[in-house]
Chains A and B, each alone.
Chain A
């Protein structure tokens, strides 16, 4: 049996930043939440879904909203209890464990906070395999499981239950509720059992996230430390230009990164997360695989909102789980799903590049 204690938190944070792929919000407040929760309630038990009763309901958890609102008005201590009660009203029996949804800098941590506060174990898995901006970009959706009913509570005590015939309507309803919830809500979505999780999530998502973090911290943020996870440095250069624009409420933008050889320039298209890396009009790697910018001087894995012109960065590609590379997976989370009219390109394999 494995527990997550105070000493594991910084590894988890570092790994979640990598899986954030340039987005997923700031880890600072969630990290302090987890620290306080573990200090108060003790280490969180991590369980494999297969070790739970297959028909036991689980409580998927994601903190939804806007990162810049979360840093001002993060969760109190009541939301987890409220949310669980709301979910369990519709269940035949209590939830057996918490299930992380999105392994990003905020949402790899929040489910563990909830688990600690509720005294539940946390399943060692997640259902996005990396950070994506929409709650329906999950392996459950690929398996045909609907996102509804979706439950959301906020710090002031408001709550909603959203039922809808399809996932895009659920998403739209949630977006229209968020402004009234202070742009921060604790959300449970997908009605699934431990058996569904065991069947669909692969295994050890949180443990892997911590291993990634440990490897990264072990080499002071150098991308070389992530070779065992398939990470490849595509490009090294200085951020020469940063263009932001907002389309349909989503912050999009383009980064221009110049190598020391002035003939080499890389383009990164992003929308919260880094989506496509292009050199000379040739697409090098795209979502669903991860594209990260490592500050070449400090080793910090940068979020797109933090990039500054003049920063020297490594552009690092890292593959994500196989289910995203099926045609259904690419239709849901490939570049075209983000409005970029290019075909998906998988991250080059570390072995192939390394010879």
Chain B
């Protein structure tokens, strides 16, 4: 096998500002020569496997002749057409035709056709030169560690001219292209990744049906390289690249490039892990310090408060704590990674959380301005449940559980809520039953409120509520009367407090209550009637059918 593909030629970085306008499916064809074009009609005379480069005098890409060149190029078996970008959009129809014919059409910024042909041709005729160039480019691009897994795979993919994937030790795709990830499921490759001493490997895939009919499909080559954090340790990740029509002369350079990239990424991982562990330790120590200082006069020391603020923790406000723990685990996942995954899941559900390591699990808490603004406990439990379930799904044999504390204000509130959360979590750990059921327990679940919820849901109260409240709603569809009456009863019949809450005059409240008294069929001064009205009016607006 000999010859370089157009995709790899472009990936070498010899040209900047080029644009693959269409026919990307044909970028993996082997190129036999690169020649400057003379006329569109002359395309017919070119040898199969040629890449032809046109100057603006010979071919204008938004002109009809571009379509003709593609069609002639296809019957001549060309490997690609390069021409100057016209500075105007290239018609969709031309791009689609290139796609349909599988013939790459590449637009270039203003350059001389002869110069482009002269630049590319040596690499086509002597692939080993291309190999050296490839290795040089890789070394240069990975001289400094990548900033993220995504940057690793995209840079490496652009360098090698084919799909690249980064997978974790268990073979899951972390970043990159599924095309490079898919073949890793094949038994022999899978076995290679599971070896106790990880080494690089090269595999040939069975040729699939050709993408473009009447073309010989070259077998794809899959190369894998381990990312090791220490020389004799296990593979923390694997890098995989899938390349088609790889000439033998390039195999070595590609394998070495993969190794260079893996090494560079290992540097990133080591640095990143160290940062994460340091932060986690800092958080854990600081929380301990805060909890220790609660009992002291004046609360936590100013320096402690300052450090908490630097972490984004608010000590004032209304706190609701959550405690998480591992219930069962047969997975080998490390604690630090597990916390990170839970954080990611929670963040993507709209609940950004930083887990703090505790003796028997992790904790975090949410803070709001007031009780009213706090996340509704049911919603919190749902988000937690979903997040834990998602993490469990990723790790066979892992069962997680969590407890949610009540909401309390101030620094002391953090401690109290954390305590309750831990107790609730203990409750959740002791729960038996199918995995995944009751994985989140709330401290209130057994409290007085459960009685109320049952009461609100009862058919008797619902019919009574309807009967009692209907006249109020009929008289005032805007709902002002109902709101006022409810607040009035909640605030132990204080017209002054009610007026303050509603932002209206006290007399307005009195007028409304008088009006409500007249509309109601019951007597508000009778304690029994009053309780029923209070419950009924609190039940208004609860979405019974949504339960």
Contact = CB atoms under 8 A, between A and B. Distances in A.
Interface of A: 240-241, 243, 245, 254, 256-258, 263, 265-267, 269, 276, 278, 280-282, 340-342
A258 to B, nearest CB: 8
Given A240-B92, A254-B91, A256-B91, A340 B97 contact: no
B128 interface: no
Given A267-B94, A281-B97, 6 more contacts: A241-B92, A278-B67, A281-B72, A341-B40, A341-B64, A342-B64
Given A243-B62, A341-B65, A265 B96 contact: yes
Contacts of A280: 67, 71, 97, 100
B62 to A, nearest CB: 7
A105 B89 CA distance: 31
B91 A281 contact: no
Contact of B91 (A267, A282, A341): A267
Listed from nearest, the 3 A-B pairs whose CB atoms lie closest are A281-B71, A241-B92, A267-B93
Nearest to B91: A254
B311 interface: no
Contacts of A263: 100
A256 B92 contact: yes
Interface in B329-344: none
B117 to A, nearest CB: 23
A328 to B, nearest CB: 24
B65 A267 contact: no
A241 B91 contact: yes
Interface string B57-98: 000001011011011100000000000000011011110110
Contact of A267 (B67, B72, B88, B100): B67
Nearest to B88: A245
Most buried by B among A243, A265, A269, A341: A265
6 contacts: A241-B91, A243-B91, A254-B64, A265-B93, A281-B67, A282-B71
B39 to A, nearest CB: 10
A243 B88 contact: yes
Contacts of B67: 267, 278, 280-281
Contact of A254 (B62, B96, B97): B62
A255 to B, nearest CB: 8
A237 B446 CA distance: 65
A58 B351 CA distance: 86
Nearest to B40: A341
Interface in B174-226: none
Contacts of B94: 267
Most buried by A among B67, B68, B70, B89: B67
Contacts of B65: 341-342
Nearest to A267: B93
Contacts of B91: 241, 243, 254, 256, 267
B88 A256 contact: no
Interface in B89-111: 89, 91-94, 96-97, 100
Contacts of A245: 62, 88
Q: Assign chain B's interface to a size class.
A: 10 to 19
B402 to A, nearest CB: 49
A340 B93 CA distance: 17
Interface string B373-402: 000000000000000000000000000000
Interface of A is mostly: strand
Contacts of B68: 281, 342
Contacts of B100: 263, 265, 280
A226 B89 CA distance: 35
A80 to B, nearest CB: 41
B71 A256 contact: no
Nearest to B65: A341
A276 B64 contact: yes
A265 B100 CA distance: 10
Contacts of B64: 254, 267, 269, 276, 278, 340-342
B38 to A, nearest CB: 14
Contact of B93 (A266, A282, A341, A342): A266
B131 to A, nearest CB: 36
A341 B64 CA distance: 8
Contacts of B89: 243
Most buried by A among B68, B71, B93: B93
A278 B97 CA distance: 11
B85 to A, nearest CB: 14
A263 B100 CA distance: 7
Contacts of B93: 241, 254, 256-257, 265-267, 278
A254 B93 CA distance: 9
A293 B473 CA distance: 61
Contact of A281 (B62, B70, B88): B70
Most buried by A among B40, B62, B71, B96: B96
Nearest to B95: A256
Contacts of A282: 71
A278 B40 CA distance: 16
B187 to A, nearest CB: 37
A241 B40 CA distance: 25
Nearest to B96: A265
Nearest to A269: B64
Contacts of B71: 280-282
A284 to B, nearest CB: 12
Contacts of A276: 64
Contacts of A269: 64
A263 B102 CA distance: 12
Nearest to B41: A341
Interface string B507-526: 00000000000000000000
A102 B512 CA distance: 82
Contacts of A240: 92
Most buried by B among A278, A340, A342: A278
Contacts of B96: 256, 258, 265
Most buried by A among B70, B71, B92: B92
A32 to B, nearest CB: 37
A238 to B, nearest CB: 12
B473 to A, nearest CB: 48
Nearest to B100: A263
B22 to A, nearest CB: 11
Interface string B479-501: 00000000000000000000000
B86 to A, nearest CB: 9
A7 B333 CA distance: 86
B88 to A, nearest CB: 6
A258 B99 CA distance: 14
Contacts of A265: 92-93, 96-97, 100
A340 B65 CA distance: 8
A245 B62 CA distance: 10
Nearest to A268: B93
A81 to B, nearest CB: 46
Interface string B32-70: 000000001000000000000000000000101101101
A254 B92 CA distance: 9
Contacts of A266: 93
